[in-house]
Amino acid sequence: MNRMFWLCAVWACGSSPKREVVPDMTEPAWADEYAKRAEAGCGCADATCLEAAHTELAAIMTKHGGFDDAPQGVHVAHGKFDTCWRDGTRDIGRDFERLAQTICSCTKSECLRLAQIEQASLVNGKYRDNLDAELAASPVATAAVVRANACLAKVMMPAALAVEVFTTSTHAMCACKDMACAASVMKQREAALSKWIDMDPSVDRTSIANLASRWCDCMERVAVAEIKGMSPVPTFTSVSVDLNCR
């Protein structure tokens, strides 16, 4: 398996298109705060200081809406600090080992989402200029990628299996005539899905969403039929059921 498989297959890699910055003569106060903190960060004498500044600047950026909506001064300050941070904290073996450790400790999808953010900061940030060559030159980083791959394989539901489970369970639900049947199908699907934290990103999410929508329609139909069957005057009974399924 190519050492970069998990990086590209799990979360699309590659730098985002550069954003054209339109000058703004009236920048908000936080832009000045950001620029001063970035300048101070570039004065750091060690990696620990740089990492702390990087975390603090990211928090400021997030608080004010993120990078895309940031004013020109923030973009300039970010670019300067990004160079300082990447040059002053480079240790690809350490960084990818830490990422692998994060992935291998995940037991919930939120953990994997945070690992995605960490991965993006390495692939699209610190090591974006020469990633393949630096990975190839680092046995520690290469081993970390292999370990992360193995951990992901244990928690990410294969795309083909996900489609099979959703297709089979949806057909079964739509064949149900009563809630006892529906409850049994729900239990079986939950058992199949509970073995995994998330689905492989290569899965066709649109198809899964369509199957899930049909599943809900069929479950609601069964519930409505069951409730109407309990009515003493079913002919005159109108029932609307919202199962919060979607």
Rounded to an integer, what distance in angstroms lies between the CA atom of residue 83 and that of residue 129? 11
pLDDT of residue 231: 59
Rounded to 5 degrees, φ, ψ at 233 are -130, 70
pLDDT tens-place string over residues 202-239: 999 999 999 999 999 999 999 888 877 665 555 544 44
Q: Give mean pLDDT, residues 123-139.
A: 91
Rounded to an integer, what distance in angstroms lies between the CA atom of residue 138 and that of residue 141? 5
pLDDT of residue 233: 53
pLDDT of residue 239: 45
Rounded to an integer, what distance in angstroms lies between the CA atom of residue 106 and that of residue 114? 10
Rounded to an integer, what distance in angstroms lies between the CA atom of residue 37 and that of residue 188? 54
User: Is the predicted pLDDT of residue 113 greater than 50, yes or no?
Assistant: yes
pLDDT of residue 86: 83
Question: Mapped to the 3 state alphabet, what secondary structure does the chain carry?
Answer: CCCCHHHHHHCCCCCCCCCCCCCCCCCCHHHHHHHHHHHHHCCCCCHHHHHHHHHHHHHHHHHCCCCCCCCHHHHHHHHHHHHHHHHHCCCHHHHHHHHHHHHHCCCCHHHHHHHHHHHHHHHHHHCCCCHHHHHHCCHHHHHHHHHHHHHHHHHEECHHHHHHHHHHHHHHHHHCCCHHHHHHHHHHHHHHHCCCCEECCCCCHHHHHHHHHHHHHHHHHHHHHHHHHHCCCHHHCCCCCCCCCC
pLDDT of residue 246: 52
* Cβ(34)–Cβ(80) below 8 Å: no
- Per-residue pLDDT band for 118 (boundaries 50, 70, 90) equals confident
Model-wide pTM > 0.85 = no
pLDDT tens-place string over residues 72-98: 999 999 999 988 988 898 899 999 999
pLDDT of residue 227: 79
First to last CA, the chain: 37
Rounded to an integer, what distance in angstroms lies between the CA atom of residue 30 and that of residue 94? 33
pLDDT tens-place string over residues 154-194: 999 999 999 999 999 999 999 999 999 999 999 999 999 99
Q: Give mean pLDDT, residues 61-66.
A: 88
